[in-house]
Structure 1
Amino acid sequence: MELLFLGTGAGIPAKTRNVTSIALKLLEERRSVWLFDCGEATQHQILHTTIKPRKIEKIFITHMHGDHVYGLPGLLGSRSFQGGEDELTVYGPKGIKAFIETSLAVTKTHLTYPLAVQEIEEGIVFEDDQFIVTAVSVIHGVEAFGYRVQEKDITGALKADVLKEMNIPPGPVYQKIKKGETVTLEDGRIINGSDFLEPPKKGRSVVFSGDTRVSDKLKELARDCDVLVHEATFAKEDHKLAYDYYHSTTEQAAVIAKEAGAKQLILTHISARYQGDASLELQKEAVDVFPNSVAAYDFLEVTIPRG
């Protein structure tokens, strides 16, 4: 599980920051990539990475402002030309379906793969045997969501060496033991499968704030997460501007991370007014409140380790 920041700017592209898009690389877990937002020129940013558009399985849109969605039609179309065949699902607020359908229709774009579009509400928006994705409403003047990706706990490894020492040979019985079932062996012995498993590996979690003012709902969504990716459009001294434009400051993001018990905070969606050393000052403002903070930059990669 890795984060790759394709765009870390706010509002409009800048020389050093493209507009918002973040890739969650799940190549080991499910051989796919999930995108969170898809601002203008996201597909151009992807060209500078190892991401293959055909591997993009899901796209989660936080809200319908242009710097978060204008790159979507181009990416969807290009995915066809780049060998995409597997289904892609786009999740987002009301309006995302009409935006995609209209963009593809008026440009006569034909997709070579199945496309599903789901207009979401608060709650669980996706779940399978590996992950749960939950959305909550945040405060941004338009309908907007934050997302939590929660990996489910992984069953501990089978203690095969112990089983062999007990003269239990490999075979179908190992599968039952692996599931934690109580098994009666051919010689009459009864064993509890859970006694022969290593401790489970705790699932990892990452939370994406989207664009928002300070939000109690988001703080609860981020409770004890491994990584909180929080917008920090403005410096702490510009807190009035942040409030007026429905955004957050560096300091506010750090307070949310601290109060939520997050393990790491990554700042993104940074205004173009903060160039060069000013970006480092933004990071320092967060670090003063929450030491494990970093200001993202385009193409920053962050691994989310187990434990």
Structure 2
Amino acid sequence: MQLQFLGTGAGMPSKERNVTSIALKLLDEIGSIWLFDCGEATQHQILQTAIKPRRVDKIFITHMHGDHIYGLPGFLGSRSFLGGESPLTIVGPAEVKDFVEATIRYSKTHLTYPIHFVEVQEGVVYEDEHFIVHAKKLQHVIDCFGYRVEQKDLPGQLLVDKVQKFGVPRGPLYRELKSGRDITLEDGAIVRAADVLSEAKKGFTVTILGDTKYCNTSIELSKEADIVVHEATFDSSTTDLAASYGHSTNTEAASIAKLANAKNLILTHLSARFLKADIERLVNESQTIFPSTFAADDFALFELKNSTLMKQ
């Protein structure tokens, strides 16, 4: 699993940072990419990466502020031009459907694929055999949601010596067992996958929070998460000002991660007033509360491998 930040700025683009968009790359797991928010010029940012738009099959929108949605029309149109034909799901506030359909209609854009809209509400907003995504409302100046992506536990490794004792012939039946499915041999004997697999491997959890001031909901969504992505629009010297705008400081984000017993924290949605030296200070301050804190830059790529987060 990889996280690539396509935009890490707050409010409007700057020379150093585009506005918000994050790609959750699940290529090894399910061969697809999910976007979280799609700020203006997201498609331009994608051109600087190895991301193929047709691989994006889900977009999760946290809220309707322009710096989180203005990139949708352009990206959707380009996905068609670039050969995207598979269905796309957009999860977000009800107004997202109106926004997308109006811009597509008025711009006379032809899409080569269907879009399925899911209105985000608190609870489970997506589930398949591999993943489950929960959403909860945060505390911003308009309705805004955070998403918790949980990978379901993976089957353990196939214990070949045990399989051989049951007399299972090599081939497709091995794959069935490895996938966690019981099999029946030609003589009618049943071999249970649980008897020939090691313990299941716990899946990862990634929490991606939209704009929010400090709130308990952020802690709930972040519980035991491998990665928490949290905004840091303000610094610790402006806590009251941050709250009045529905935003958080760097140290508040660190406190959320600590209280949630998360493993890693990535700060994003950084104000343009912060220069490079300021970002170093923000990270250092946060690390006094939560040591495993990183700051995201545009195009930064983080990989979770064997429960360890590495910045590429």
Q: For this structure pair, what is the TM-score category when the shorter chain's length is used for normalisation?
A: over 0.9
Secondary structure at 2:100 match in 1: helix
1:290 maps to amino acid: F
Q: Distance in 1 between matches of 2:175 and 2:276?
A: 56
TM-score normalised to the size of structure 1? 0.95
- The aligned counterpart of 1:195 is 195
Q: Distance in 2 between matches of 1:275 and 1:10?
A: 13
Q: Distance in 2 between matches of 1:58 and 1:187?
A: 43
2:253 maps to amino acid: A
225-234 or 178-187: bigger deviation? 178-187
Gaps of 5+ in 2: 308-312
Call closer, same or farther: CA 1:75–1:192 in 2, change over 3 Å: closer
Shift of 1:171: 5.8
Call closer, same or farther: CA 1:177–1:208 in 2, change over 3 Å: closer
- The aligned counterpart of 2:276 is 276
Call closer, same or farther: CA 1:236–1:184 in 2, change over 3 Å: same
Q: Distance in 1 between matches of 2:129 and 2:226?
A: 20
Shift of 1:275: 1.1
1:138 maps to amino acid: L
Secondary structure at 1:135 match in 2: strand
- Within-5 A mapping of 1:133-144: 133-144=133-144
Aligned-residue Cα RMSD (Å) equals 1.8
- The aligned counterpart of 2:71 is 71
- The aligned counterpart of 2:250 is 250
Deviation string, structure 1 residues 220-277 (Cα, Å, up to 9, x no partner) = 1110000000001011001122011100000000000000010000000000110121
Identity %: 51
1:219 maps to amino acid: I
- The aligned counterpart of 1:223 is 223
- The aligned counterpart of 1:236 is 236
Q: Distance in 2 between matches of 1:14 and 1:145?
A: 25
- The aligned counterpart of 1:151 is 151
- Within-5 A mapping of 1:1-307: 1-165=1-165, 167-170=167-170, 174=174, 177-178=177-178, 179=180, 181=182, 186=187, 192-307=192-307
Secondary structure at 1:254 match in 2: helix
Deviation string, structure 1 residues 126-182 (Cα, Å, up to 9, x no partner) = 000000011000000111100011000011122123322554433666466553649
1:186 maps to amino acid: D
Gaps of 5+ in 1: none
Secondary structure at 1:225 match in 2: coil
TM-score normalised to the size of structure 2? 0.93
Secondary structure at 2:132 match in 1: strand
- The aligned counterpart of 2:310 is none
1:116 maps to amino acid: H
Q: Distance in 2 between matches of 1:269 and 1:61?
A: 15
Q: Distance in 2 between matches of 1:284 and 1:55?
A: 36
Does the 8 Å contact 1:25/1:32 carry over to 2?
yes
Does the 8 Å contact 2:166/2:191 carry over to 1?
no
Secondary structure at 1:229 match in 2: strand
Secondary structure at 1:18 match in 2: coil
Does the 8 Å contact 1:57/1:89 carry over to 2?
yes
How many correspondences in the alignment?
A: 306
Shift of 1:218: 1.8
255-264 or 24-33: bigger deviation? 24-33
Q: Distance in 1 between matches of 2:280 and 2:130?
A: 37
Shift of 1:186: 3.4
1:121 maps to amino acid: Q
